[in-house]
């Protein structure tokens, strides 16, 4: 039973981020953390008070909005009671990686929390992080090895959150699981997309240690369906494995083919961010794409753009401007068009936005302007307005923005076909994603699809949910039954 008056006694409160002028000098997590020994700033008592704000609602909208179906009121109450051990048991029962969502999720649960009717939801995501971080510290996150082996071999292609969730579930179900990753390290976008200041790679590595100890095998530097000598062909894959889970992500970035696109200095965001991550880890002193001393323009106002922004500031950019074609969102949700408990479409200020840069809304890129040597020097933009649902230029609003570097962060158009998809002969749907049936199976029997590769560009929490559900489907296909949970269907969508 929750504290029935907690939400009346305590205000919503989050731990402070480190001061901007200090944190942009390094790549570490923007938040103070217990690991930094600074828990006096937001002690466990403060977290427990936040957990006490949960009302244990009869219909917990937080739970319904969560793709992995986290048992939020239950672990909120356990955190309130200081029972962190049971809290992590409850949290792990629905989420393989609460540390990824606790750090990175945009928290649809908080958008739907009943207390968000008064715009002060329970700090669900922070409590989730505290529970799992505490569990690692206490040594409660131990390998869970299967009691029985099935003798079946499963290959998981791609090591982002979808592949990792599928691999952990299938390993625990007793299968012999190998994860193939074409990059040199495991993690997908958690490794080379999302910057260190949002989630330190050590957080990923400690989970991979657990997975290795459970028996999951990881192979890096091998592209399945790739053309290098040591890559694995589709034929080898099918011959060696009883089932396959494809979780290769939606890696094709949306391009902007405006005049001048060929100039030197224009890059897709995912050409830039992996170098920033390597620089953060001390592997590169001077990355090949470096914002140091440069005027940077980021096209796209979402998370990927914000990650470019924070990276450029840490590299010492001279200026950073982020462009968005949509109008600036309102500060408060519009109860008519965007009512509770749907996800609030409001102005968000990420840690990167606190650190500086200019955000321009309702603007479109007209062309890129270069110098005689073919280098980018500026971007010509104009303002737009919506007329009959289409963006139209407002004449006379053209202006130049200085730009030595432009990062295109306008989303992703789907999975890469060349290589893996073509070689396996799986069908792709009209949106560029690998087609699948209600059991997450592609058009090739025994080949399942999870995460962004099947859903299209999405979120970590959806990738984990899909990895878990696809694992249950693959387990059933291999053995005729499965005790693994299926939190989502392939066509499930957010509350709307
Ligand atoms: C810059 C950026 C920041 C983001 N920030 C957030 C955030 O803060 N919160 C959030 O919830 N979501 C965020 N997202 C979205 C989130 O990262 C993705 O939805 C999620 O990672 C998808 O997981 P996945 O496992 O499907 O694929 P991915 O994480 O994309 O992993 C796919 C992996 O498959 C590998 N692969 C592909 N083909 C092959 C092959 N043939 N052989 C071997 N390996 C292969 C790739 O190299 C890659 O490592 C962000 C996305 C980006 C781009
Ligand atoms: S909706 Fe909010 S208050 Fe209600 S159970 Fe969920 S977290 Fe607690």
pLDDT at 381: 98
Pick the ligand that lies closest to the CA of residue 340: 2
pLDDT at residue 39 is higher than 70: no
pLDDT at 445: 97
Of 108, 249, 271, best ligand 1 pocket probe by most atoms within 8 Å of the beta carbon: 249
8 A C-beta contact, residue 306 and residue 298:
no
pLDDT tens-digit map of 168-206: 999 999 999 999 999 999 999 999 999 999 999 999 999
Distance, CA 270 to ligand 2 centroid (Å)?
36
Q: Is 315 in the pocket of ligand 1 (CB under 6 A)?
A: no
Distance, CA 139 to ligand 1 centroid (Å)?
28
Distance, CA 249 to ligand 1 centroid (Å)?
5
Pick the ligand that lies closest to the CA of residue 416: 1
8 A C-beta contact, residue 149 and residue 176:
yes
Q: How confident is the model at residue 2 (pLDDT cuts 50, 70, 90)?
A: confident
Of 193, 225, 273, best ligand 1 pocket probe by most atoms within 8 Å of the beta carbon: 193
pLDDT tens-digit map of 285-332: 999 999 999 999 999 999 999 999 999 999 999 999 999 999 999 999
pLDDT at residue 339 is higher than 80: yes
pLDDT at 496: 82
Q: Is 447 in the pocket of ligand 2 (CB under 6 A)?
A: no
Residue 372 to residue 41: CA distance in whole angstroms: 54
Q: Is the dihedral of CA 248, 105, 187, 462 positive or negative?
A: negative
Residues 6 or more apart whose Cβ sits within 8 Å of residue 457: 250, 411, 412
Q: Is 296 in the pocket of ligand 1 (CB under 6 A)?
A: no
pLDDT tens-digit map of 116-169: 999 999 999 999 999 999 999 999 999 999 999 999 999 999 999 999 999 999
- Residues 77-99: b if buried by 16+ CB within 10 A, e if exposed: bbbbeeebeebbebbbebbbbbb
Question: Class of the 153-251+413-479 domain?
Answer: alpha beta
Residue 307 to residue 199: CA distance in whole angstroms: 11
Pick the ligand that lies closest to the CA of residue 156: 1
Torsion (CA) 88, 91, 93, 99 in degrees, nearest 10: -90
Nearest atom within ligand 2 for CA of residue 116: 2
Q: Write the residue with the smallest CA distance to atom 1 of ligand 2.
A: 113
pLDDT at 32: 80
Tell me how crowded residue 136 is: count the other CB atoms within 10 A of its CB. Answer: 16
Q: Is 124 in the pocket of ligand 2 (CB under 6 A)?
A: yes
Pick the ligand that lies closest to the CA of residue 75: 2
Distance, CA 212 to ligand 1 centroid (Å)?
20
Residues 6 or more apart whose Cβ sits within 8 Å of residue 435: 426, 427, 428, 429, 442, 443
Side-chain-side CA neighbours of 194 within 13 Å: the count stands at 21
Query: Which residues, in sequence order, are bridge partners of residue 381?
Result: 365, 399
Residue 459's alpha-carbon distances to 101, 147, 190, in angstroms, are 9, 32, 11
Residue 92 to residue 145: CA distance in whole angstroms: 15
Query: What mean pLDDT is predicted for residues 388-415?
Result: 97
Residues 6 or more apart whose Cβ sits within 8 Å of residue 422: 225
In the block, residue with structure tokens 């908080």: 110
8 A C-beta contact, residue 301 and residue 323:
yes
Do 255-410 and 153-251+413-479 have the same topology in CATH?
yes
Side-chain-side CA neighbours of 445 within 13 Å: the count stands at 2
pLDDT at residue 35 is higher than 60: no
Tell me how crowded residue 12 is: count the other CB atoms within 10 A of its CB. Answer: 18
Residues 6 or more apart whose Cβ sits within 8 Å of residue 317: 291, 292, 293, 294, 295, 296
Q: For residue 104, which of 462, 471, 409 has the smallest C-alpha distance?
A: 462
Residue 154 to residue 223: CA distance in whole angstroms: 16
Tell me how crowded residue 46 is: count the other CB atoms within 10 A of its CB. Answer: 17
Superfamily of domain 6-138: Alpha-helical ferredoxin (1.10.1060.10)
Report the CATH number of the 255-410 domain.
3.50.50.60
Q: Is 127 in the pocket of ligand 2 (CB under 6 A)?
A: no
Residue 250's alpha-carbon distances to 51, 246, 416, 463, in angstroms, are 36, 11, 7, 11
Q: Is 61 in the pocket of ligand 2 (CB under 6 A)?
A: yes
Nearest atom within ligand 1 for CA of residue 188: 49
Share of the chain above pLDDT 90, in %: 96
The phi, psi pair for 30, rounded to 5°, reads -70, -20
Q: Is 38 in the pocket of ligand 2 (CB under 6 A)?
A: no
Distance, CA 192 to ligand 1 centroid (Å)?
9
Question: Average per-residue pLDDT in the chain?
Answer: 96
pLDDT tens-digit map of 82-117: 999 999 999 999 999 999 999 999 999 999 999 999
Of 100, 129, 165, 188, best ligand 1 pocket probe by most atoms within 8 Å of the beta carbon: 188
Q: How confident is the model at residue 437 (pLDDT cuts 50, 70, 90)?
A: very high
- Residue 144 carries which DSSP code? -
Q: How confident is the model at residue 235 (pLDDT cuts 50, 70, 90)?
A: very high
Q: How confident is the model at residue 34 (pLDDT cuts 50, 70, 90)?
A: low
Going from N- to C-terminal start, the domains of the chain cover: 6-138, 153-251+413-479, 255-410
Q: For residue 449, which of 477, 426, 432 has the smallest C-alpha distance?
A: 426
Q: Is the dihedral of CA 32, 15, 457, 65 positive or negative?
A: positive
Q: Is the dihedral of CA 408, 409, 413, 417 positive or negative?
A: positive
Query: Is 153 strand, coil or helix?
Result: strand
């Amino acid at each position: 039973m929750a504290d029935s008056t907690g939400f009346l006694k305590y205000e919503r409160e989050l731990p402070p981020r480190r001061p901007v002028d200090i944190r942009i000098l390094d790549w570490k997590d923007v938040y103070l953390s217990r690991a930094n020994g600074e828990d006096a700033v937001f002690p466990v008592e403060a977290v427990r008070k936040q957990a006490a704000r949960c009302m244990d609602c009869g219909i917990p909208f937080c739970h319904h909005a969560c793709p992995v179906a986290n048992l939020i009121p239950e672990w909120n109450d356990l955190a309130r009671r200081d029972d962190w051990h049971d809290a992590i048991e409850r949290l792990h029962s629905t989420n393989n990686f609460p540390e990824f969502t606790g750090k990175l999720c945009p928290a649809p649960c908080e958008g739907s929390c009943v207390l968000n009717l008064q715009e002060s939801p329970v700090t669900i995501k922070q409590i989730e992080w505290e529970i799992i971080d505490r569990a690692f510290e206490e040594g409660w996150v131990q390998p869970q090895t299967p009691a029985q082996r099935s003798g079946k071999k499963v290959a998981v292609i791609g090591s982002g959150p979808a592949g990792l969730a599928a691999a952990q579930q299938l390993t625990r179900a007793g299968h012999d699981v190998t994860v193939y990753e074409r990059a040199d390290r495991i993690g997908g976008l958690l490794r080379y997309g999302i910057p260190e200041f949002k989630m330190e790679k050590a957080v990923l590595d400690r989970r991979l240690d657990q997975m290795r100890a459970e028996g999951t095998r990881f192979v890096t530097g091998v592209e399945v369906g790739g053309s290098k000598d040591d890559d694995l062909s589709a034929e080898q894959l099918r011959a060696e494995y009883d089932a396959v889970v494809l979780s290769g992500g939606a890696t094709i970035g949306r391009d902007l083919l405006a005049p001048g696109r060929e100039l030197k200095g224009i890059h897709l965001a995912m050409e830039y961010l992996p170098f920033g991550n390597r620089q953060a880890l001390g592997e590169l002193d001077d990355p090949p794409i470096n914002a140091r001393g440069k005027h940077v323009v980021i096209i796209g106002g979402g998370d990927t753009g914000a990650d470019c922004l924070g990276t450029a500031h840490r590299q010492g950019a001279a200026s950073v401007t982020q462009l968005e074609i949509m109008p600036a969102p309102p500060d408060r949700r519009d109860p008519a068009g965007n009512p509770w408990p749907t996800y609030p479409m409001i102005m968000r200020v990420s840690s990167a936005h606190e650190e500086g840069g200019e955000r321009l809304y309702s603007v479109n890129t007209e062309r890129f302007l270069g110098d005689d040597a073919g280098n980018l020097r500026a971007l010509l933009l104009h303002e737009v307005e919506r007329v009959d649902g289409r963006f139209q230029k407002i004449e006379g609003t053209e202006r130049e923005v200085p730009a030595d570097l432009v990062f295109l962060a306008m989303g992703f158009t789907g999975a890469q076909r060349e290589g893996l998809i073509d070689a396996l002969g799986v069908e792709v749907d009209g949106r560029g994603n690998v087609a699948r049936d209600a059991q997450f199976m592609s058009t090739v029997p025994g080949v399942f699809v999870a995460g962004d590769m099947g859903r299209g560009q999405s979120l970590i929490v959806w990738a984990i949910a899909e990895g878990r559900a696809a694992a249950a489907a693959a387990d059933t296909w291999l053995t005729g039954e499965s005790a693994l949970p299926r939190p989502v269907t392939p066509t499930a969508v957010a509350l709307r």
